Structure 1
């Protein structure tokens, strides 16, 4: 199969028929084999009923429904696991992503041999309260990842099939799929300016909390990418530094006390000195950090299992 289109959704029943017709027209004109995979993230409206109707009319439609709302990342992961196409394209179901971009996203993977192509909504139809934090967020991700993309959070992306099979999307990591692909060894990442359309139906499902969660997830991803395979290099290093600094400082405190006793100079009790407890604290923290690194090494050697999500239906 040539192309898989993965579409996670939550309460988008109004947009689904129009989106399906648009995708079908565009891809049929391309003359390639394809499938459309809808992942219903526990919608509480009639989205699943609409998807069942689309499946009955079009054999290209496949679908999965979660038993409850898990989030966009599990939806993408579930779609990636089922994708059969040589090229996998993701897009949102709210009609803000234009299916007219599909041919170029497909071509850049097949002909220019990109591993990942990320959409860039250069002109956005969002309020300043959303575009301002988004620019700051993208600048931060560029700094940490070293990938010169302008819009990491754009849902319109294309991938080689092997890329999506070698990454695991969890928590809210869907924002960092290019970064995760790079960490997995797929470093040829391109960008395509895409059209951003105003929302036609419903309302956005994401609040301002996504920016806070996004930064926390970025720190986790950066740490895992840098020290995930070698946690002792981080915890062991700083644990050793703290331990030896604390030990040297403690020896200085004790040496000063012994010197005063030897020469008959009045001196305070060691246990009355704040420096004594700071030294002990540094030593204890150093030991704890070192042990954390050691345990991290043991855990890192274990093969992690993929997350599982309760499915209600699949067609």
Structure 2
């Protein structure tokens, strides 16, 4: 199979039929062999019923329905597990991503050997204050932190080699950082392509202002995990030892000063009245706690088990 198109959605009953027709038209013109995998992330409208109706006439439509809303990352994770295509395309269901971009994205993966190609919505039709400006700030921070020079990390329209989606773990709210996850997994040829962005035709956006706060928090998380996720002792242990040694030498200095004054019969205050004694003690205790944190992190890492992160209610045309 050439292509798998993975589409997470939430309450997009009006968009689904039009998106399906548009995708099938593009696929037929380009003679692609394909499957379309819809992931219904707990919709409360008629989205699932519409997908069921479409699947009755087209077996290439496959679908997963979550028992409740778990988020876009979990939807993508479930979809990636079921893909069979050599190239995987992800896109949103709100008609803001243009299916006409699929052939060019496919060519970049197959002909030019990219592992992942991310869309770049250079010209956007979103609100400037609530989306465009925060998005620019967010993307600038992501570029600086990750070392990946992409303009639009959060664009839903992306193309992947099959090996990429089968070897990355998209969890929490990490769908924004799939290129970073791919890079951390060892896939180095990551590029981007300017894609056409379209104004939302139906409904309203499912993402509020909190997505930017969560995005920056996730950025810190992924930075930490990419550098120390497999070796927490290298961070916490190093800082713990450094702080303990620093506290020890401060305490040694306080003790040496006390002994010197006793030897010279110089009047002095009690050790417990010296603020440096408590500073040294605090630093040593904090160093010990950092070291133990790193040690516990190593134990947890070596004994962790994959937990169930979502529950599937129904599936269509999936083994």
* Alpha-carbon distance, 1:308 to partner: 3.5
In structure 2, how many angstroms separate the alpha carbons of the residues matched to 1:145 and 1:207?
Answer: 24
* Alpha-carbon distance, 1:300 to partner: 2.7
The answer to whether the Cα contact below 8 Å between 1:168 and 1:306 also exists between their aligned partners in 2 is no
In structure 2, the residue matched to 1:51 is 51
In structure 2, the residue matched to 1:61 is 61
Unaligned runs of 5+ in 1: none
In structure 2, the residue matched to 1:235 is 236
In structure 2, the residue matched to 1:188 is 189
Deviations 1:256-307 (A, max 9, x none): 1222222222222111222211111110111111111122222333464254
In structure 1, how many angstroms separate the alpha carbons of the residues matched to 2:285 and 2:160?
Answer: 47
Q: Secondary structure at the match of 1:24?
A: helix
In structure 2, the residue matched to 1:92 is 92
Q: Secondary structure at the match of 1:285?
A: helix
Equivalent residue pairs, number: 315
Q: Secondary structure at the match of 1:301?
A: helix
Per mean C-alpha deviation after superposition, the further-off stretch among 283-292 and 257-266 is 257-266
In structure 1, the residue matched to 2:166 is 165
In structure 1, how many angstroms separate the alpha carbons of the residues matched to 2:184 and 2:90?
Answer: 20
In structure 1, the residue matched to 2:136 is 135
In structure 1, how many angstroms separate the alpha carbons of the residues matched to 2:300 and 2:44?
Answer: 39
Deviations 1:156-177 (A, max 9, x none): 0000011000001011100000
Per mean C-alpha deviation after superposition, the further-off stretch among 294-303 and 137-146 is 294-303
In structure 1, the residue matched to 2:112 is 112
In structure 2, how many angstroms separate the alpha carbons of the residues matched to 1:250 and 1:303?
Answer: 39
**What TM-score comes out, normalization by structure 1 length?**
0.98
1:286 aligns with 2:287: yes
In structure 2, the residue matched to 1:244 is 245
Q: Secondary structure at the match of 1:256?
A: helix
**What TM-score comes out, normalization by structure 2 length?**
0.96
Unaligned runs of 5+ in 2: none
In structure 1, the residue matched to 2:20 is 20
Deviations 1:237-265 (A, max 9, x none): 11111000000001111111222222222
Q: Secondary structure at the match of 2:39?
A: strand
In structure 1, how many angstroms separate the alpha carbons of the residues matched to 2:269 and 2:196?
Answer: 73
Deviating above 6 A after TM superposition, structure 1's stretches of 4 or more consecutive aligned residues are: none
Deviations 1:8-67 (A, max 9, x none): 000000000000000000011111210000000000111101110111121110000000
In structure 2, how many angstroms separate the alpha carbons of the residues matched to 1:223 and 1:169?
Answer: 16
The answer to whether the Cα contact below 8 Å between 1:2 and 1:85 also exists between their aligned partners in 2 is yes
Per mean C-alpha deviation after superposition, the further-off stretch among 121-130 and 149-158 is 121-130
